[in-house]
Amino acid sequence: MIGSVTYEAGGWTASALAGAAIGGVATLAFLLFDRGASIAR
């Protein structure tokens, strides 16, 4: 859905920026809140 919506709103650039933003949020959450959860035991 969001892929179609963003493309219709602003072409490929809008979709690409939305995808990069999602990746950025995941990366930030990982760096700020993971607190060692992803370290193999």
Partner 1 sequence: MTSTAAESPVDISPVMILLMAVACGVIVANLYYAQTLIDVIGPEIGLSPSVAGLITTLTQLGYGAGLFLIVPLADLFENRRIVLTSIAATMFGCIAIALSNGPTSFLVASVLTGVGATGAQVLVPLASHLAASEKQGRVVGTVMSGLLFGIMLSRPIANFLAGSVGWRATFIVSAVVMAMVGVALLAACPQRKPKGGMRYRDVLASTFDQLVKHRVVRMRAFYQAAMFAAFNLFWTAAPLALIHEFHLGHAGIGAFALAGAGGALAAPIAGWMADRRLTRPASLIGMIGLTAGFLLADWTVAAGSLIGFTIMAVLIDGAVQMSQITGQKLIFSLDPHARGRINAAYVTVMFLVGIGVGDRIGHL
Told to check if 30 binds partner 1 by CB under 8 A, we report yes
Q: Where are the beta strands (DSSP E) in 1-41?
A: none
Pairwise CA distance, residues 35 & 22, whole Å: 20
Only one residue has tokens 């959860």, namely 37
Pairwise CA distance, residues 41 & 25, whole Å: 26
Told to check if 37 binds partner 1 by CB under 8 A, we report yes
Q: How far is the CB of 6 from partner 1 (least distance, A)?
A: 6
Number of residues that bind partner 1 (CB under 8 A): 30
Binding residues vs partner 1 (CB under 8 A)? 1-4, 6-7, 11-13, 15-20, 22-27, 29-30, 33-34, 37-41
